[in-house]
Structure 1
Amino acid sequence: MQIEEKPPFATPFEWIGGEDKVKALVERFYDLMELEPAYAQLRAVHGSSLDNARQRLFWFLCGWLGGPSYYTDRFGHPMLRARHLPQSIGGHTIGIRERDEWLACMDQAMRETGVPHDLHQRLAKSFFQTADWMRNRAGA
């Protein structure tokens, strides 16, 4: 069994730097999605505008990281897989490629917004577990 050191802050939300840093991370994530050809497949499943996605991810991450529960206050339990399932109805499914693009985009956004290295590593593990669980299509 590997024992991890206790994080230097009570919550990942405090560790990342609060709302301003979460907002910067979300903004960079979606900016990269729009700018980088490497994330084209991921961008394609988000529809014509990213405004709603930006706001909802910000709300979600604040609570998920241990900060204000904006998302659950508005919508209840996130039910991530169920909320993303409608994308498959229109032919936009989440497979390995979309998962990997999401993870790469978030990894780049965390690096570019200065998420502390140890927190970055912990979040990357959690993001992978969640993103892999979100897949609703086998294969690439």
Structure 2
Amino acid sequence: MSIRTRFAAFLVVLAAVAISLAPVAADATRSTPSARIDVLPKIGHYEGRDTHHRHIKFYYGSHGRVVNFRVEHTNFPPAEVQGAMWHRTCHNNHCTRGHWTTDTHVNGHWSISTSSLGDVAFSARWISH
């Protein structure tokens, strides 16, 4: 087999691999919350429910923090927001994390590490400034 034939075969294989990996790379950027640069969290009060229908509420302020996060009557620590998300933030075994899916809608999880509940998903919407 000549060098040209080998090189052509190599290019065909390389192109096939590149084409097969393109959807994987596109999905990877879409699935990460931090990849959403078009979301600008709206300042104000948010309320919602978790998967067990518990009441969730918090405030997001111009200072870039989620504060007064509550599940029913249980308080959780403030969290620094980076872009349109906050990473897992804990204090005294109470933890939250979340990300904005639109300017006024947040999905996330809360947990109490001493509880058997594990991570509990929640969804909240902006209600007022």
Tell me the TM-score normalized by structure 2.
0.30
**Pair member with larger Rg:** 2
TM-score between both structures, scaled by the size of structure 1: 0.29
Q: Which has the higher contact order (CA 8 A, sep 6+)?
A: 1
Comparing both structures, which one devotes a greater share of its residues to strand?
Answer: 2
Q: Which has the higher helix share?
A: 1
